[in-house]
Amino acid sequence: MREILSVLESDARATPDRIAALTGIAEDEVRAAIAAWEAEGVIRRYKTVIDRDRLGEDRVTAFVDVTVAPERGRGFDDTAERIARFREIRAVHLVSGAQDLRVEVEGASMKEVADFVAQKLSGVDRVTATSTHFLLRRYKDDGQLLTDPEPDQRLSVMP
């Protein structure tokens, strides 16, 4: 059944009959599995990966490493959940290393992102430090290469 999820991860528009053909699982089973996973929250949503550079959209993304003083009995969960509620936040992850959380922030400009970090994010209770890294270029996003493939330079072989 993991094969169904693998196909959906690579192509959210794959139809149950296409998934059945690719996996060898009966179409009815594919439909039932997808419906069950949607109901259980295993499948959260279907997503399209957009190359914003090709679209000409000027959005600024930054990864902010956040140090948090954990709360007794809750650890990092409460702070991470509060941070996740901001509209500027695209992702929040608990990570290993010197910092505790890695936060992805998006804004219209570097100033907007910097103001968000300085005025909102750093003011969240238990946030003790931040370190901001601005994204310069995406090469791969959500498993999808965003660069054009190199042309095949091999010479033809004649029989």
Q: What is the CATH number of the domain that holds 104?
A: 3.30.70.920
pLDDT given at position 10: 85
Beta bridge pairs of residue 1:
none
* pLDDT(53) > 90: no
Specify whether the CB–CB gap between 135 and 61 falls below 8 A: yes
Residue entry with tokens 């995406």:
138
The one-character DSSP state at 148 is: P
pTM (predicted TM-score): 0.72
* pLDDT(95) > 80: yes
**Rounded to whole angstroms, how far apart are CA atoms 30 and 22?**
11
Write b or e for each residue in 134-154: b if 16 or more Cβ atoms lie within 10 A of its Cβ, otherwise e.
eeeebeeeeeeebeeeeeeee
Could you tell me where the beta strands, DSSP code E, fall in 89-155?
89-94, 101-107, 127-134, 140-141, 144-145
- 57 found inside a domain: yes
Which residue range(s) make up the domain with 6?
2-40
Sheet (strand 101-107) strand order: 89-94, 101-107, 60-68, 127-134
Mean pLDDT value across the chain: 91
Residue range 39-51: mean pLDDT, rounded: 85
Q: Are residues 36 and 58 in the same domain?
A: no
Q: Are residues 63 and 11 in the same domain?
A: no
Q: Are residues 33 and 62 in the same domain?
A: no
Q: Are residues 68 and 121 in the same domain?
A: yes
- 142 found inside a domain: no
Least confident of 19-23, 37-41, 61-65, 153-157: 153-157
pLDDT given at position 1: 85
Q: Are residues 92 and 123 in the same domain?
A: yes
Q: Are residues 58 and 124 in the same domain?
A: yes
- 15 found inside a domain: yes
- 104 found inside a domain: yes
In the chain, how many domains are there? 2
Residue range 141-151: mean pLDDT, rounded: 78
Q: Are residues 124 and 60 in the same domain?
A: yes
**Rounded to whole angstroms, how far apart are CA atoms 5 and 38?**
11
